[in-house]
């Protein structure tokens, strides 16, 4: 059955042009492989990519003034979001509400690779 979640006539284009930006180079070996601010491409979300091959390694505890969505592309991770611990693997999506301290780590074996979607046109962060 085809989807029809809204009436196309109710949406008016706002004049923004389609855009492209480079998020990462496939041969990069640093954990933080790149980011694209939403404002650079006319969007409302900033996209980051993170990956590492070391079990237990991950970003430091930090927080944002907006929500963040994590997409686990490869491997397994343990997310610490507020007082909850969430284990996720390739294909899973984890949501981190704004204002909650969070971090994640590679559970192994092998590479952890994520796409991190910051619900803001600009990446804003406070390391704790």
The pLDDT of residue 122 is: 94
Domains in the chain, CATH or no CATH each: 29-127 (2.60.120.10)
The pLDDT of residue 33 is: 80
3-state secondary structure 84-99: EEEEEECCCEEEECCC
Alpha carbon distance 70, 117 (integer Å): 6
The pLDDT of residue 88 is: 97
At 4, the pLDDT band (50, 70, 90 cuts) reads confident
**7-50: pLDDT as tens digits:** 889 989 888 888 888 888 777 777 878 889 999 999 999 999 99
pTM of this structure = 0.87
The pLDDT of residue 101 is: 97
- The residue whose two tokens read 């109710």 is 10
Q: How many CB atoms lie within 10 A of CB 114?
A: 25
**45-97: pLDDT as tens digits:** 999 999 999 999 999 999 999 999 999 999 999 999 999 999 999 999 999 99
Residue of 118, 98, 3 whose CA lies nearest to 50: 118
Alpha carbon distance 83, 102 (integer Å): 9
Alpha carbon distance 3, 5 (integer Å): 6
- The residue whose two tokens read 């004049």 is 15
């Amino acid at each position: 059955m085809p989807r029809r979640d809204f009436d196309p006539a109710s949406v008016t284009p706002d004049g923004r042009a389609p855009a492209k930006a480079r998020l990462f180079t496939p041969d990069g070996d640093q954990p933080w492989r790149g980011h694209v601010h939403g404002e650079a491409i006319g969007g409302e979300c900033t996209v980051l990519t993170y990956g590492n091959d070391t079990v237990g390694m991950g970003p430091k505890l930090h927080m944002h003034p907006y929500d963040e969505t994590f997409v686990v592309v490869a491997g397994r991770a343990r997310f610490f979001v507020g007082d909850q611990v969430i284990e996720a693997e390739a294909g899973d999506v984890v949501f981190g509400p704004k204002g909650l301290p969070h971090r994640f780590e590679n559970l192994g074996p092998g590479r952890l690779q994520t796409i991190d979607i910051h619900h803001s046109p600009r990446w804003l962060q406070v390391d704790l």
